[in-house]
């Protein structure tokens, strides 16, 4: 498909190659439906269950694609990133699967459960002070000392391509979707989703779903430039980051709109999925569900695909 | 298969007929696996996910088979039962699906959430005092006044046959299981499972999994007669009842053994399923999982089928 994105910018062919590259390494997650949620939404909902993906999140797709795309020489020195969340766990496991080291820069104040997850997948944690500056300088130092390749959590074409494979599987399995919804934080999942949907099912509308308390993507899209996320406040702690120089242009060009929901709506949607579907999703996953259940689509859709991004929840601290 | 059960006793042909009868009315639930749980158990585990069944529990199979087996004339007057749990919800929905009334006798002290579930599925609740005597006399009165057919939660051949269809689907999908585990309360699920496994895969061992704090089935099996459940104490609140005159002989004849686990083991298993598999199971479902994860099988098995009986949990009161 022709777009106004610059030549050489990420496009759908990268998603297709990623799908072939990672196929044997990732789960082909199921697409579930729920009659009672359909009734609440007044539409047919098709849930792509990346909560069942390895490490419990779609992030494993992008990390695996990035790691498998490295040359032998690049790979030998390993990979590095700054993240304390799902990307850190995903990159650690993807690296271990290739037999190479992963260096994860993490604030020393990160929750013990997140440190344990990264260590459980074999990642090498490098602690830093909990400031943006310390994070970047520590990462820089790690890369210089080890020669590891920095794999950004979302502003990286290979990562974006990998994330787009979830939507590709969804579209292969469910025809005639009128809309596809994905949560948006840094925009890796949403931009990969948009590249895929525009190419495979051009009539299908693509929406980003964002917490009202972290609505920088919404404001960026409407302002026409990246507005950084400042002091975001939301239960959806996977969606706090700002868009990047790669994800923003793709989203601006290919996404129909960004729709926001407040935390009360997010928690309600999360609980409904737990109660009715008997599956565990994290708050970030509940954001697009809330958009559907609260009927916030600007153009009603009868068949809606929803990417459930992950299922990593602290079971000691549920939001109800 | 030849057994020593009396002629005319429930046998596998009833399960086969039930499978055909209910096929279009129940979900064919998925069989899930988890590499990390396999590692903990030292075996391959295959989880038959009845937590994804309608009303969130296998009980919908038996209730649907019982309701669909009624003649037109029987059906017209409706069905009745005493239960405040999954059977009550299942019978209510099965009756509504056939367009007939369901009368549910329930102690007036039952939790509001259980009343709401039955009402949500269209059941007519008849309250009684919270005693065994009041329950039976109230049921008797309802049956006399309405002409409804009493559908016992487990001591009913059609209910047993319906419950056996879960194991039938499991065996059709997963060959060469060395053992199948199902929780045991009144024994409807376990006896239906045993009838099925013995007929379809005679080499496969069948075990009941029971809470140590409600181990009447274990004691009954070893004593050779039904020992009632007296003051059971366990988190697995779906497994408090005693075996019945139909379920006990089937279990004695066809089940290899009953294995008990304590509540700490049950809660740990439940939490591991939530964390690793990202699915919601109720404590009763976690009982056979605990048997596998704690490696309590008397004869080790490399491939183990586990029936996850349901996923109805009060999300306000989690056991950790």
The answer on A114 and A239 residing in a single domain is: no
Q: Is A47 on the interface with B (CB under 8 A)?
A: no
Q: For residue B42, what pLDDT is reported?
A: 98
Q: Is A283 on the interface with B (CB under 8 A)?
A: no
Total Cβ atoms within 10 A of residue A111: 11
Q: For residue B306, what pLDDT is reported?
A: 98
Asked if residue B2 is part of any domain, the answer here is no
Q: For residue A310, what pLDDT is reported?
A: 97
Nearest-by-Cβ selection for B56 from A278, A280, A311: A278
The answer on B177 and B135 residing in a single domain is: no
Residue stretches of chain B with pLDDT short of 50: 1
The answer on A96 and A48 residing in a single domain is: no
Q: For residue B2, what pLDDT is reported?
A: 52
Q: For residue A157, what pLDDT is reported?
A: 97
Contacts of A30 in chain B (CB under 8 A): 30
Asked if residue B316 is part of any domain, the answer here is no
pTM of this prediction? 0.94
The Cα–Cα gap between B125 and B112 comes to 12
The answer on B304 and B226 residing in a single domain is: yes
Nearest-by-Cβ selection for A280 from B52, B280, B320: B280
The Cα–Cα gap between A247 and A63 comes to 16
Task: Say what percent of chain A tops pLDDT 90.
Answer: 92
Q: Is B278 on the interface with A (CB under 8 A)?
A: yes
Asked if residue A26 is part of any domain, the answer here is yes
Q: For residue B194, what pLDDT is reported?
A: 98
Q: CB A275 to CB B315 under 8 A?
A: yes
Please write the tens of the pLDDT for every residue from A102-127: 999 999 998 888 899 999 999 999 99
The answer on B90 and B30 residing in a single domain is: no
The answer on B140 and B172 residing in a single domain is: no
Question: Of A150, A176, A209, which residue is a domain's last?
Answer: A150
Q: For residue B105, what pLDDT is reported?
A: 97
The answer on B132 and B43 residing in a single domain is: no
CATH number for A92 = 3.40.50.1100
The Cα–Cα gap between A200 and A192 comes to 12
The Cα–Cα gap between A256 and A178 comes to 12
Nearest-by-Cβ selection for A279 from B275, B279, B320: B279
Average the pLDDT over A232-248 and give the result: 95
The answer on A203 and A192 residing in a single domain is: yes
Asked if residue B314 is part of any domain, the answer here is no
Nearest-by-Cβ selection for A279 from B271, B278, B315: B278
Q: For residue B26, what pLDDT is reported?
A: 97
Q: Is B267 on the interface with A (CB under 8 A)?
A: no
Q: CB A318 to CB B318 under 8 A?
A: yes
Question: Would you state the torsion angle of the CA atoms of residues B127, B128, B129, B131, taken in this order, to the nearest 10 degrees?
Answer: -130
Contacts of A320 in chain B (CB under 8 A): 315-316
The answer on A184 and A127 residing in a single domain is: no
Question: Of A125, A150, A175, which residue is a domain's last?
Answer: A150
The total number of structural domains in chain B stands at 2
Structural domain of residue A304, as residue ranges?
A: 12-57+156-308
Phi-psi region of A24 (alpha: psi -120 to 50; beta: other; left: phi over 0): alpha
Q: For residue B6, what pLDDT is reported?
A: 78
Please write the tens of the pLDDT for every residue from A6-62: 777 899 999 999 999 999 999 999 999 999 999 999 999 999 999 999 999 999 999
Question: Of A115, A150, A185, which residue is a domain's last?
Answer: A150
Q: For residue A112, what pLDDT is reported?
A: 87
Average the pLDDT over A265-287 and give the result: 98
The answer on B76 and B53 residing in a single domain is: no
Asked if residue A313 is part of any domain, the answer here is no
Nearest-by-Cβ selection for B51 from A278, A311, A315: A278
Contacts of A274 in chain B (CB under 8 A): 280, 315
The secondary structure of chain B, three-state, reads CCCCCCCCCCCHHHHHHHHHHHCCCCCCCCEECCHHHHHHHCCEEEEEEHHHCHHHECHHHHHHHHHHHCCHHHHHCCEEEECCCHHHHHHHHHHHHHCCCEEEEEECCCCHHHHHHHHHCCCEEEEECCCHHHHHHHHHHHHHHHCCEECCCCCCHHHHHHHHHHHHHHHHHCCCCCEEEEECCCCHHHHHHHHHHHHHCCCCEEEEEEEHHHCHHHHHHHHCCCCCCCCCCCCCCCCCCCCCCCHHHHHHHHCCEEEEECHHHHHHHHHHHHHHHCECCCHHHHHHHHHHHCCCCCCCCCEEEEEECECCCCCCCCCC
Contacts of B280 in chain A (CB under 8 A): 274, 278-280
Asked if residue A2 is part of any domain, the answer here is no
Q: CB A271 to CB B315 under 8 A?
A: yes
Q: Flag whether pLDDT at A2 surpasses 60.
A: no
The answer on A108 and A189 residing in a single domain is: no
Average the pLDDT over A190-211 and give the result: 98
Asked if residue B7 is part of any domain, the answer here is no
Separation in Å, CA of B129 to nearest CA in chain A:
29
ipTM of the complex: 0.92
Q: Going edge to edge, which strands form the sheet with A102-107?
A: A124-128, A102-107, A79-82, A149-150
Please write the tens of the pLDDT for every residue from B54-88: 999 999 999 999 999 999 999 999 999 998 899 99
Separation in Å, CA of B34 to nearest CA in chain A:
10
The answer on A64 and A51 residing in a single domain is: no
């Amino acid at each position: 498909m022709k777009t106004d994105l610059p030549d050489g910018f990420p496009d759908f062919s990268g998603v297709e190659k990623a799908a072939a590259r990672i196929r044997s390494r990732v789960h082909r997650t199921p697409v579930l439906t729920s009659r009672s949620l359909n009734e609440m939404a007044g539409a047919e909902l098709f849930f792509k269950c990346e909560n069942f993906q390895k490490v419990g999140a779609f992030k494993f797709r992008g990390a695996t694609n990035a790691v498998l795309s490295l040359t032998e020489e690049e790979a030998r020195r390993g990979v590095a990133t700054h993240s304390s969340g799902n990307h850190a766990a995903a990159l650690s496991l993807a690296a271990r699967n290739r037999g190479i080291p992963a260096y994860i820069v993490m604030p020393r104040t990160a929750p013990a459960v997140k440190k344990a997850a990264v260590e459980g997948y074999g990642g090498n944690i490098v602690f830093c002070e909990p400031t943006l500056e310390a994070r970047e300088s520590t990462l820089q130092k790690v890369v210089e000392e080890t020669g590891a390749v920095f794999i950004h959590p979302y502003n990286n074409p290979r990562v974006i391509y990998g994330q787009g494979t979830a939507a590709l599987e969804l579209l292969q399995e469910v025809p005639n979707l009128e809309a596809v919804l994905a949560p948006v934080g840094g925009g890796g999942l949403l931009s990969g989703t948009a590249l895929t949907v525009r190419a495979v099912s051009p009539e299908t509308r693509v929406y980003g779903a964002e917490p009202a308390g972290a609505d920088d993507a919404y404001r960026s899209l409407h302002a026409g430039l990246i507005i950084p996320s400042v002091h975001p406040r939301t239960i959806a702690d996977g969606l706090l980051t700002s868009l990047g120089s790669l994800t923003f242009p793709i989203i601006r060009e290919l996404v129909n709109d960004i729709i926001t929901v407040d935390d009360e709506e997010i928690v309600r949607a999360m609980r409904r999925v737990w109660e009715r579907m008997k599956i565990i999703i994290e708050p970030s996953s509940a954001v697009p569900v809330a958009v559907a259940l609260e009927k916030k689509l600007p153009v009603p859709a009868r068949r809606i695909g929803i990417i459930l991004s992950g299922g990593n929840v602290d079971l000691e601290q549920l939001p109800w």
